[in-house]
């Protein structure tokens, strides 16, 4: 019971931090890929959150792969 309440509390704090981070970093940045001339304007918080999400998924994949290889 205590762990459920604690996990919900941590989730709410994390969610509020993401909201405050998004409000503070709402400036647009221009992203371009080298061989192409096109540029995309996106908010800074979007790029940061997507980068962190990709990093978490890569870490999860590598962890699962290492665990499977050990067996």
List pLDDT tens digits, range 18-54. 999 989 988 999 988 888 888 999 999 999 999 999 9
Give yes or no for residue 9 having a pLDDT over 90.
yes
- Distance CA(53)–CA(20), nearest Å, equals 18
Q: Where exactly are the structural domains of the chain?
A: 2-70
Q: Is the pTM of this model over 0.75?
A: no
Question: Per the structure block, which two tokens stand in for 38?
Answer: 């096109």
DSSP state of 30: E
pLDDT confidence band for 58 (50 / 70 / 90): very high
């Amino acid at each position: 019971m205590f762990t459920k309440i604690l996990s919900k509390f941590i989730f709410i704090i994390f969610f509020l931090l993401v909201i405050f981070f998004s409000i503070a970093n709402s400036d647009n940045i221009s992203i371009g890929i080298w061989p192409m001339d096109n540029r995309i304007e996106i908010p800074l918080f979007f790029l940061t959150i997507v980068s962190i999400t990709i990093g978490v998924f890569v870490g999860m994949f590598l962890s699962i792969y290492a665990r499977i290889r050990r067996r």
